Structure 1
Amino acid sequence: MTEEIDRIVAEVSNWDGIEANEHRFGGTEFRLGPREIGHVHEWGILDIAFPRRVRDQLVADGKTGPHHIYPESGWTTFRVGETGDVDDALWLLRLSYLSHAKIMQKSAERAGGNVLTELDVENELTALEPSDELRAVL
């Protein structure tokens, strides 16, 4: 499991604006500014934050499951090695990253600031090829 987790940490840590730090319950958390997009535990549980409507659609699509402790929240739990592979985990984390970046960009526009100006969120979301239902809630 360590190899898979190391790959996730290495890749996500290189995304623009991401800070990777130790998570309070073990593992590594990924933050985009003040927002935590998710965290991965050494034993293979990957918890990912989404807006609730996005989370609901991802669960309906079978891409991930409700959070193992807070099933009614916007958080999801993906078990690396059990429910899918590292590429699936990275797809989910990238989707979370982009959905949070989109919110941050809109907030910055209203405030007259610049956040992740080099990131083309819409183009990257299209490249992830989400289902039509998921795209509608993004």
Structure 2
Amino acid sequence: MFLFVTRYLGFLKSVPTLGWAFDGWLKLWVLIKKPEILDWMDEIEAEVLKWENTTSVIHKYGGMQFNYRDKEIGHIHSNGLLDMLLSRSVKQSLMQVGRVEHHHSFINTGWISFYMHNADDKEYALKLLRMGYERLVVKSGVRSSDSLPTFKSI
């Protein structure tokens, strides 16, 4: 259903707060059908906020957005869909492994989508977010005191 709405009704995202309302409906649906996804989202948020200079905010279309120094690391919609920007080469490498997909709207970019279905997926989502965090740390020129994994560790 999420893909149907984003593909055929995506033009509605320009209506103020409609994205948040849709995401609220998704959250209610997930609460009924697969409540553990909401627990995983809370666990991911708690972990990401331990990393230096990170914050979380409500994403402009709903869900939870993680930032490093006001730059988006990625965001998780209330249905457990992680969207984030990586380089195109890293995206292609991850897609060859087969765990991530093209972003549901930005196909020919470095944006990826990853659905969480189980606890292992939650851990993989954390690794992806950590990779995005590292990309932004390196881009900013600020050195993090945290030991960060590389792409090869995923």
Per-residue CA deviations over 1:91-124 (Å, capped at 9, x if unaligned) read 111111112211212xxxxxxxxx245245xxx2
Root mean square deviation of aligned Cα: 2.0
The list of structure 1 runs, each at least 4 consecutive aligned residues, that deviate by more than 6 angstroms after superposition, is: none
Give the aligned residue type for 2:67.
R
Percentage identity across paired residues of the two chains: 31
Per-residue CA deviations over 1:29-79 (Å, capped at 9, x if unaligned) read 011124211001111111011122211211122231110111111110000
Please give the TM-score of this superposition, normalised by the length of structure 2: 0.68
Q: CA deviation at 1:126?
A: 4.5
Number of aligned pairs? 117
1:69 aligns with: 105
CA distance in 2, matches of 1:118, 1:39: 24
2:153 aligns with: 129
Of residues 77, 96, 121, the one that matches 1:41 is 77
1:110 aligns with: none
Partner-residue secondary structure (3-state), 1:36: strand
Q: CA deviation at 1:128?
A: 6.2
1:48-127 equivalences under 5 Å are: 48-81=84-117, 85-105=121-141, 115-120=142-147, 124-126=148-150
CA distance in 1, matches of 2:129, 2:97: 16
5+ long unaligned stretches in structure 2: 1-36
CA distance in 1, matches of 2:152, 2:93: 15
CA distance in 2, matches of 1:38, 1:126: 17
| Bigger radius of gyration among the two | 2
